[in-house]
């Protein structure tokens, strides 16, 4: 049991270092000295930022991800509130169980909460991952007029769904909104792929050239963080250039 606890803490530390874009040397400390390295990281980088109880909860979620769902199901059974339903739906989505997530988002988004932005955006995301593109487009109509929707992940998935439905002119208008220099690398790669699929080869190449040039000026941590994305960017550019 102690072995799995140490591994779980190590995974959590690596995840925390990744999401907070911490210094690269922390990865080596955590990996080369799993117990001591993780302890040092928690004390110096986590406990100073978060309450101990919160950290323990997150470590438990890494070791036993289904426990979070079970605990939230119990909360819903005790108090079937909007927030409890959304939290449960989020937990299912984190486990890639989007079918159950959809059921709980829809249940939560009723009555006075039918226009809630966060819940609706999360429902849209879940629909996209089940390839229910018509439902994505329909759901987007509820929140597309809200300022939070502009250049959001939900808006991008809406654009991708329009593309899947062969509504390419509408899709391009939406997808182009992510094209901002020195950011949105994964999304801009997908935009370049969209250009390729719609036979706009020159637009695709121009965008890929911009991305490759931006990659030359990235810091070492960011180069490591987006390494896979930039490998795919180069592959797509090479394909279009032959």
Q: Hey, how many other C-beta atoms are within 10 angstroms of the C-beta on 204?
A: 22
DSSP-derived secondary structure for 180-193:
-TTS-HHHHHHHHH
Predicted confidence band at 131 (pLDDT cuts at 50, 70, 90)?
Answer: very high
What tokens does 220 get?
Answer: 């070492």
- Sequence spans of domains, the chain: 2-63, 65-178, 182-242
**Between these two residues, 16 and 159, which has the higher pLDDT value?**
159
Residues in contact with 106: Cβ distance below 8 Å, sequence separation at least 6, in sequence order: 123
Q: How many CA atoms lie within 13 A of 237 on its CB side?
A: 17
Residues in contact with 58: Cβ distance below 8 Å, sequence separation at least 6, in sequence order: 12
**Between these two residues, 108 and 43, which has the higher pLDDT value?**
108
157 Cα distance to chain centroid: 12
Number of helices and strands in the chain (H, E): 15, 0
What tokens does 203 get?
Answer: 């637009």
The pLDDT assigned to 50 comes to 47
The pLDDT assigned to 73 comes to 93
Q: Of 2-6, 73-77, 83-87, 148-152, which gets the smallest average pLDDT?
A: 2-6
In the predicted model, what is the mean pLDDT of residues 186-208? 97
For the domain made up of 65-178, the CATH class stated in words is mainly alpha
The pLDDT assigned to 22 comes to 73
């Amino acid at each position: 049991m102690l072995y799995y606890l140490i591994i779980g803490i190590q995974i959590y530390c690596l995840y925390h270092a990744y999401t907070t874009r911490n210094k690269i040397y922390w990865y080596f400390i955590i990996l080369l000295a799993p117990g001591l390295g993780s302890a040092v990281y928690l004390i110096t980088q986590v406990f100073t930022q978060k309450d101990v109880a919160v950290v323990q909860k997150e470590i438990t979620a890494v070791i036993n991800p289904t426990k979070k769902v079970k605990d939230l199901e119990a909360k819903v059974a005790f108090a079937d509130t909007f927030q409890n339903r959304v939290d449960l739906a989020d937990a299912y989505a984190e486990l890639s169980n989007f079918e159950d997530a959809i059921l709980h988002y829809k249940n939560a988004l009723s009555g006075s909460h039918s226009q809630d932005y966060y819940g609706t955006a999360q429902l849209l995301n879940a629909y996209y991952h089940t390839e229910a593109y018509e439902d994505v487009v329909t759901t987007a109509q509820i929140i597309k007029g809200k300022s939070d929707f502009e250049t959001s992940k939900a808006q991008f998935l809406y654009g991708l769904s329009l593309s899947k439905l062969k509504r390419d002119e509408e899709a391009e208008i939406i997808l182009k909104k992510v094209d901002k220099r020195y950011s949105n690398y994964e999304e801009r790669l997908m935009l370049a792929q969209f250009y390729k699929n719609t036979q706009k080869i020159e637009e695709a190449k121009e965008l890929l050239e911009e991305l490759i040039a931006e990659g030359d000026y990235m810091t070492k941590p960011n180069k490591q963080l987006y390494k896979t994305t930039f490998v795919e960017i180069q592959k797509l550019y090479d394909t279009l250039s032959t």
